[in-house]
Amino acid sequence: MLKILNNFFKSTNSGKKKEKKMKILCVLYDDPTGGMPESYPLSTIPKIEKYPDGQTLPTPKSIDFNPGQLLGCVSGELGLRKFLEDLGHELVVTSDKDGEGCQADKELKDADIVISQPFWPYYLTRAKMETAPNLKMAITAGIGSDHVDLQAAIDHKIDVMEVTFCNSRSVAEHIVMMIISMVRDYHNQHAIVKAGGWNIADAVKRSYDVEGMHIGTVAAGRIGLDALRKMKPFDTHLHYFDRHRLPESVESELNLTFHDSVESLVSVCDVVTINCPLHPETEHMFNAELISKMKKGAYIVNTARGKICDKDAIADALKSGQLSGYAGDVWFPQPAPNDHIWRTMPNQGMTPHTSGTSLSAQARYAAGVREILECFFDGNSQRTEYTIVSNGELAGTGKHSYSKGDATGGSEEAKNYTK
C-alpha cells in the first residue's frame, strides 16, 4: 500500500511541471539624447475605451506603467520587465539590431519570443529565423509586420502578432498634419523665421489652400479611412482605391469616389496618401511609371512603408516638378542610411517614423503587447485582429491585409546609419 501511495504522489507531482522559463528579446529605439524625461508636458492622456469600429483597446490584466510615459525606447522597456520577471522569464532589451555581430542577432539564437517596433524594426529574415530554433512568436509593438519575412514565418510555423488599431488614429492625425504642412509650404515658412528672415514673397510662392483639392488614399482601411474622415471638414473632394470596397453607406456619408485601380486614382488627385501594407504586391508600387501618370505638381504623403515607393523615382519627380512635395514618415531601411537620397531631396517633409509612436500611442501598443504575452503564457486564443500568421498560415488581419512572400530584402543597408 505504501508503495502504491508513493507512486501516486510521484505521478501527481510530476504532472505539476514548472513553467518553462522563456527568453523574450525586445528591440527598441534608443533613449533620448539627454536621458529619460524626469517630467512630461502633460500629466495625463485622454482615456479611450473603444476605437471607431467598436473594437476595444488592449485589455491586459494589468500594466506596470503610467500611460503617457516614454515606453518605446530601451529604458522604457514597453513597461514589461516586472511582469515578465515576476513570471520567471528573461527579458533582454537592446537597440543594437543591424550589422554583423549586433546584439539582437546574438540574443535571438536562444530567444523564444522577439518583440520589435515598426519605427526601429528588427528585420527578422529567413536566415535569422534559422539561427533561432526556440523562436515561437514575433510581436510587432505597433502595426505593420513587414519587417518579418512572413513567408519564412509561415514555413517555420512562427506566429506573428501585432497590436492592430493601437496607433492607427495617431498615424491618421500625422497624415492630416503632413497634407496641410506640404500644401501650405509650412516647412519653408518656418525655416525662414528660424533663419531670421521675413521675406513674405519667398514664404508664399509655393503655398496653396487645400480647400477644393482632390485628396485620395491608396487603401481605405483603419488609417486611410480615418484620414479621409479628418480631411472632409476642409471641404475637399475625397477618393479611394482599395481591394476591399467600402460599404455604400460609408461612400455616401463621405461623398467618396471609388477607383478600381491605383492608376485611376492618381490621375485625378492633387494629394495622394499611401496607407496600404508593404508586401510583395505593393513593393515599389510608386515607381517612375506610376508617378508619371499623376497630375503634374501633385503631392504624396506616405506614412505606410518607405519601400512602397521607389526612392530614386520620388527624388527625380521632385527635382523635375512632376511632384510638388513628398512628406514621408517611413523609410527603407530603418533607420535610413546617412546618405539616403530622401534626406536631401527638395520640397520634402520627412520625419523619422514618428507618426505612430506618440506618447498616447505608446500606452496602447505597450498594453497590447502585454495582452498578447498574457494570452500566450496562459494558453488562450489571441485576438483575430492581432493575428498576422498563425499555425503556419496567414490568419486574421494578416489574411485580410497581406500576401505571402518576403519584403525584407535590402534591409541590411540599415547598418549604414551612423548615430
Cβ neighbour number for residue 62 with a 10 Å cutoff: 8
Contact 369, 26 (CB under 8 A): no
Give me 240's grid cell.
479611394
Q: Which of 239, 353, 364, 383 is catalytic?
A: 353
Q: CB–CB of 113/136 below 8 Å?
A: yes
**Active-site choice (117, 151, 167, 302):** 167
CA quadruple 319, 320, 323, 325: dihedral sign: positive
**Ordered DSSP codes for 192-245:** HHHTT---HHHHHTT----TT-EEEEE--SHHHHHHHHHHGGG--EEEEE-SSP
Kindly tell me the burial class for residue 11, based on how many C-beta atoms sit within 10 Å of its own C-beta (0-12, 13-18, 19 or more): exposed
245 is catalytic: no
Which residues partner with 113 through β-bridges?
Answer: 24, 137
What is the side-by-side order of every strand in the sheet holding 159-162?
90-94, 23-27, 113-116, 137-140, 159-162, 387-390, 393-394
Burial 173-207 (b: 16+ CB within 10 A, else e): bbbbbbbebbbbbbbbbeeeeeeeeeeeeebeeee
Quote the cell numbers at residue 28.
527598441
Catalytic residue from among 239, 279, 305, 370: 305
- Residue 334 annotated among the catalytic residues of the structure: yes
Active site (annotated) includes residue 305 = yes
User: Are the C-beta atoms of 74 and 95 separated by less than 8 Å?
Assistant: yes
DSSP, collapsed to helix, strand or coil, labels residue 388 as strand
- List all residues 6 or more positions away from 108 whose beta carbon is below 8 Å from its beta carbon: 25, 114, 128, 131, 132, 135
**CA 411/CA 331 separation, integer angstroms:** 11
- Of 151, 189, 275, 334, catalytic: 334
Told to judge if 167 belongs to the known catalytic residues of this protein, a careful annotator would answer yes
DSSP 134: T
Active site residues: 167, 305, 334, 353
